Amino acid sequence: MFAHQHRENFSEQSKDYIPARMDEVERILIDHGVEHAQDVKETQIHVIDIPLTEPRAWLIGGATIVASTSLLRDGRAFHGYIQPMVTIIFP
SS3 of residue 40 by DSSP: coil
pTM value?
A: 0.78
Sign of CA dihedral 37, 38, 40, 45: positive
The whole domain housing 15 covers 2-89
pLDDT confidence band for 11 (50 / 70 / 90): confident
**Cβ neighbours for 32, distance < 8 A, ≥ 6 positions apart:** 83, 86, 87, 90
- pLDDT, one tens digit per residue, over 29-82 is 889 887 665 665 677 888 988 888 899 999 998 889 999 999 999 999 999 999
Count of domains in the chain? 1
